[in-house]
Structure 1
């Protein structure tokens, strides 16, 4: 996988979500359900709004178990990355890198397969006694927009029964459809099976050439260019040229 300096927020932005495709009444129903569950569950539950690129909910258990400020938890949307402030600094950096790597893998998949995974992390976090303890945090898609793109991501954090001394963030990826587990180190971007001509056209699209200009440059018809464009979008599992260029950069097809 090609190494980049892409941030997690930039990966969230790749969803290209539109307000017209999001139903916030669904989130109000979800939030009401999560409030009820927090009264019977000891998990620390949080939700990320990918459209807003921010945390939008955290359960009161973050206050009781981990010592977070109750007012900041209640006003989480205004608090930036406050929810991450008690994570061990070394682990926080590892988590950010892992999340980008896993996002790159997810975005390399066809759209219909991108929401089939749950990422499970184990890392250190400061508890209410000001001691670093290990927690397990499991993340997966809670809600999709009308086009099937991940919009809300839910995380459930629990104190790990294995309080081993480790300075490494552990991570496992679960395929929710077939039950298979993967290690991030074993994940690779699947072959796109693009032909040489399709890659050539993708590179010209990246340079800003229109279909007619590509046709003239390659001495082929506009109709043929458009067929190649449709095929490469289908093979990459993206909806438009901008997404194709982003994915091409992440996979190393484009410089």
Structure 2
């Protein structure tokens, strides 16, 4: 199972038919729209109960090569594929891993404390000219008081000013009430894996088989296998799932 499949299964397992969540989606759509108007951000509100997302765009969207016919644009998925496919492959993999970590952290906290936390990260997103631009990504989860399960996820994407690109962290989970960093990604794949190993790891994370990876990278099947073994050894894990879930330590 790939990291995307694991995350999708984890988030959507909260859907329930025996108890209805009474949270008003219009309230949260208004919150997303307000962020868009105030910050010129792109806001994606995902409804876990309905497996639906509402995408609110601004002037920043067209500059990044994103086009939405309506505001909001409604899609039948909790994944904003048009945006996700523009994220640099290395950053997209990290984004998935960090979302899973964020969900697990909130699940370990009391219901009344979960609204205190958010994710802040720095990612590269391809613009309309094919050039990667630095974007700030923030994520908030809203839990139902009726079902006590995750109901809404709000993701915000906005441009980073040139001079502040290196000031933002790659990934933080913040307690916004206390002003505390509760989790920080101090592990950098790039400091451990070679460029080719990173390419293989990203392909594995996308669910490709070793044969498919060999064809895409124009290398032999045996070379792919060797790279996969090296990745597991360097990350000190037993399998790819552990690597993608962040269950690794430096050897």
TM-score, shorter chain, exceeding 0.5: yes
Aligned to 1:213: none
The number of aligned residues is 182
Larger radius of gyration: 1
1:135, CA displacement in angstroms? 0.9
1-structure distance, mates of 2:55, 2:39: 16
Trace 1:228-243 onto structure 2 (pairs within 5 A): none
- Give SS of 1:82's match: helix
Q: Is the 8 A contact 1:119 1:173 kept in 2?
A: yes
Which structure 1 segments of 5+ residues have no match? 187-249
1:163 aligns with 2:152: no
Q: Is the 8 A contact 1:115 1:150 kept in 2?
A: no
Trace 1:180-191 onto structure 2 (pairs within 5 A): 180-185=180-185
1-structure distance, mates of 2:29, 2:67: 20
Q: Is the 8 A contact 1:9 1:53 kept in 2?
A: no
1-structure distance, mates of 2:107, 2:43: 25
Q: Is the 8 A contact 1:119 1:171 kept in 2?
A: yes
**Normalised by the size of structure 2, how large is the TM-score?**
0.59
| CA RMSD after TM alignment | 3.5
2-structure distance, mates of 1:40, 1:102: 26
- Give SS of 1:183's match: strand
**Normalised by the size of structure 1, how large is the TM-score?**
0.58
Aligned to 2:12: 13
Which structure 2 segments of 5+ residues have no match? 187-244
Trace 1:20-169 onto structure 2 (pairs within 5 A): 20-23=19-22, 26-32=24-30, 34-35=32-33, 38-61=36-59, 63-71=61-69, 75-78=73-76, 80=79, 81-142=81-142, 144-161=144-161, 162-164=164-166
Q: Is the 8 A contact 1:17 1:151 kept in 2?
A: no
Q: Is the 8 A contact 1:12 1:53 kept in 2?
A: no
